[in-house]
Amino acid sequence: MINGRIQDFLDTGWYNEATLFYEGYVYWCEGFTDTDSQLSTFFVDRWAARTTDYVYYHEIRLPDGRLKDYQRIFEVSGNSMDEIKRTFLETPLFDGRTFWQVETKLAWLDEGAPISLTE
């Protein structure tokens, strides 16, 4: 994994917001648990973007602030976080490839970097 340790992502990327970059796309990963039902949900949104040095990335937004070409490409819910993780890791979300097939080419983007909004 570029810009991060794979074990750190596997340990923390489920309930924190994590932004990955692969082959011209940003993948926004986020998870949460409903406190009433105790049901956990994890989702991945994707949009076209470009990046500089796998850190500073440029989003493509519409004038109203919505992401252009934004897609929810994955969402899974359940009571077992282990099952949710396994499903994510084995689903071909990255141009028909699984997380493990592209792991060495995935960049974990630095959320603290400045973002330039461009058309």
DSSP string, 69-109: T-EEEEEEEES-HHHHHHHHHHS--BTTB-HHHHGGG-EE-
Residue bearing tokens 């990955």: 20
Q: Is the pTM of the predicted complex or chain greater than 0.85?
A: no
- Calpha distance 47→69 (Å, rounded): 6
Mean pLDDT of 65-83: 84
pLDDT tens digits along 16-27: 788 888 988 889
| Token pair of 39 as six digits | 């049901």
Higher pLDDT, 26 or 117: 26
Please say if the pLDDT value at position 92 is more than 50. Answer: yes
Q: Are 59 and 47 in contact (CB under 8 A)?
A: yes
